[in-house]
Amino acid sequence: MALINEHFLKLPGSYLFSEIAKRVKTYKEAHPEAQVISLGIGDVTQALAPAVIEAMHKAVEEMSDSKTMRGYAPDFGYSFLIDAIIENDFKSRGIHLDPDEVFVSDGAKSDTGNIGDILSPENIVAVTDPVYPVYLDTNAMAGRAGYFKDGQWNNIVYLPCTSTNNFIPEIITKSVDVVYLCYPNNPTGTTLTKEQLKKWVDYALEKKVLLMFDAAYEAFITEDEVPHSIYEIEGAKQVAIEFRSFSKTAGFTGVRCGYTVVPKELTALDKAGREHTLNLLWRRRQSTKFNGTAYIVQRAAEATYSPEGKKQIRETINYYMQNAKMIKEALNSAGFETYGGVNAPYIWIKTPEGVSSWDFFDYLLNNHQVVCTPGVGFGKSGEGFVRMTAFGKREDTIEALRRIKDGRN
């Protein structure tokens, strides 16, 4: 008689974005004439860069001839892409990586979820609060989170990030084994400076803590003191795995490509205290449970590093960041307190005094037909905030802001 993984039963109701979709659907059914604008889910709206389109057409064409078609890709990615990643994303910032430290995949969501496969269910996990739900739910499925009660998991250590601490998580005094850090942050759009991140690396080095550094939004950084990679900090290779994504950088949410860096000097322990190279464990995980990223997709990713590709994706990032600036300015001038939006495509907005995240979500939907994401969906410390994204079309963003500023539809 087959038994289920009972940790799944502990997961709370529905995933945040399903609940949003449900409320929006209900609203639209009741108001079929309404022009609902979504600044909620972080999905891109702009076309792929022409250089990427060209590379994909070329790769498709190669697949049409048995002389040039490609079968199974290398499990960890083609050299042409890995070399471009190292050259452009790391070497240019003074970071040396070997090709076998970079693992190309179908996206950072899969990788941040699957990485838990190589870790013991006994590790104590810490996350910033609010947080990207995938870190929590995947650890819960693996039995690391304990039980969910009053909006929190009893085995998870939460690091509150609120306006009180300027969204800078405080170094942990409790004993933990793994810490997830996402910077630039989803959902708050805030960042850590090099100095602030160095404290975490030093802490991890001292306590032998593993850092899961999610840098999916690094392309949106505009300020110099904000690090693009955790490996800009000395010693980070001994303590950190870094996740990267082309989803937001190059509009690949529907193309699916990301990569994960697992440095060879990064180790973790078995119970007997012996050190093991995580690079080899992840290598084994990926070669066993993953069959490589599509050739066409890898050529598309490679094209984001060509001179034209870089220029084109930069233009789109600037477009989104102009949206971010507009959202921030409009909401500030309408009297809202806002955070983020400078080095990230997310704006974190304080709800009016005494109004909950979901109530403000409903208010914006019912009164302005604007969809945001309730902050509490990202954790207890997100209560009293909502997230807006800069990924909308310009005209939609302008119209949404007009409705909110004018206080009417």
C-beta neighbour count of 314 within 10 angstroms: 13
SS3 state at 1: coil
Residues in region 331-360 near its own copies by CB under 8 A: none
Of 58-66, 92-100, 217-225, 347-355, which part binds its own copies (CB under 8 A)? 58-66
Binding track, positions 95-134, relative to its own copies; x by CB under 8 A: -----------xx-xx--xx--xxxxxxx----------x
- Select from 8, 171, 315, 359 the one that contacts its own copies (CB under 8 A): 8
Residues 383-402 that bind its own copies (CB under 8 A): 393
Does 21 interact with its own copies (rule: CB under 8 A)? Answer: no
Judged by CB under 8 A, the stretch of 67-75, 83-91, 157-165, 398-406 that binds its own copies is: 67-75
> Helix, strand, or coil here: 244?
strand
Q: Which stretch binds its own copies (CB under 8 A): 28-36, 57-65, 229-237, 397-405?
A: 57-65
Q: Is 409 exposed, middle or buried (0-12, 13-18, 19+ CB in 10 A)?
A: middle
Binding to its own copies, residues 30-49 (CB under 8 A): 41, 43-48
Among 9, 32, 33, 223, binds its own copies (CB under 8 A): 9
Binding-site member from 25, 35, 61, 311 for its own copies (CB under 8 A): 61
Exactly one of 73, 172, 205, 398 binds its own copies (CB under 8 A); that residue is 73
Q: Write the DSSP string, 163-182.
A: GGGTT-PPPP-S--SEEEEE
Residues 6 or more apart in contact with residue 274 via CB below 8 angstroms: none
Upper half-sphere CA count for residue 220 (Cβ side, 13 Å):
36
Judged by CB under 8 A, the number of residues near its own copies is 82
Window 139 to 198, contacts with its own copies (CB under 8 A): 141, 177-178
Dihedral of alpha carbons 284, 231, 112, 278, sign: positive
Cβ-proximal residues to 356 (8 Å cutoff; 6+ apart), any chain:
374, 376, 383, 384
CA 265 to chain centre: 25
Q: Which amino acid, one-letter code, is at 314?
A: R
Kindly identify the residues of this chain, within the stretch 240-299, that bind its own copies according to CB under 8 A.
251, 253-256, 268-271, 276, 278, 281, 284-285, 287-297
Residue 288 · residue 138 · CB < 8 Å: no
